Chain A
Amino acid sequence: MSIAAQVLAQSADDLKNAAAAEGAGFAYGLAAIGPGIGIGYLVGQAVQAMARQPESAGQVQTTMFLGVAFTEALALIGFVVFILLKFA
């Protein structure tokens, strides 16, 4: 392999790594937006429900945790993609 080809191959590898690192950052950052809004809205509504009806706080809390878990899943998948892009 000539020197030029070696340099080209090396810079191609560098480009690939750079793209992976960039993609990893974007993957997690973008994946966190939606769930962030969702969880904020969800917990806010749950607090409102508990303030209006303190006697139903236990039930609201259980349902809230369930909703948070479902909403959060998307951010977590983004986190896994981040790990895969960054390290795998």
Chain B
Amino acid sequence: MNALVLAAEESGGLEFPSLSNLIEWKPIIDSIGLDKIGLTHVLSVIIPTIVFFLAAQQKGLVPSGIRTVAEGMIEFIENQIILPAIGADGLKYLPLLLSFFLFVFFGNITEVIPFFQMPANARMGGPVVIALIAWAMFISVGFKHNGFTYLKDIAWPPSVPLGLRWLVGLIELLSTFILRPFSHAVRLFANMLAGHILLVTFAVLSITVASGLMFLVLPFTFGGLVAFTAFEIFVSLIQAFVFTIIAAVYIGGALHPAH
């Protein structure tokens, strides 16, 4: 063990890169400032569009090839997200929620794709915009379907005892209109940033121990890196799912405020 510690000290020890090295990239096209993050966001719009466009070209009753993928995703959003979270009358929000899911998923999965290896959603810019779209959407749905009573039921909830009503109303107002988009965006952003830092930590550890006697622990660090890469694929899917279902729950709450 002493030899290992000595070897570690000789090789200069662990040098963790600063945070800006991990999440800031040089622009690929200087004039418009398009960097890796922007490229990922553009790709995560273009790729699903192409997939669904190609799927729509297919005629006939029985789907095959790319149309199976597209229909599978639509059915997943319908059965796993819209029906449990909103109900049958929420099916008209399918395009919005499907776009959310695919945009977030492509922004997350670049975390483990070679040459990208940076989740676009680990920068606040992407999550905050889609969270604000979801926020504008559920507020407008609430006002459209319930009129002014939507705001009144939040600020002056009739089911609460009169003495506490102003307090609950105040908390509800704050949480619905101010904290919701914040926590919605931060949940995605912090999850992806944490995953990215986790992978970087294991990669840096593996590189550090690769030289000298420390290579004896390389199987553990590299094994950890592989295992956490698999875990991050799972997290990308779960976070896309969670982001979409929370948007759906917010819309559902605005559509049927009684429950």
Q: Which residues of A contact B (CB under 8 A)?
A: 58-59, 62-63, 65-66, 68-70, 72-73, 76-77, 79-80, 83, 87
Contact = CB atoms under 8 A, between A and B. Distances in A.
Contact of A76 (B84, B187, B238, B245): B187
Interface residues of B, number: 20
A66 B190 contact: no
A76 B190 contact: yes
Main secondary structure of the interface of B (DSSP, over half): helix
A11 B196 CA distance: 34
A69 B242 contact: yes
Nearest to A80: B190
B11 interface: no
B186 A65 contact: no
A77 B183 CA distance: 8
19 contacts: A59-B84, A65-B238, A65-B242, A66-B85, A66-B245, A66-B246, A69-B187, A69-B242, A72-B191, A73-B186, A73-B187, A76-B191, A77-B186, A77-B190, A79-B193, A79-B194, A83-B19, A87-B18, A87-B19
Contacts of A80: 186, 189-190
A28 B136 CA distance: 31
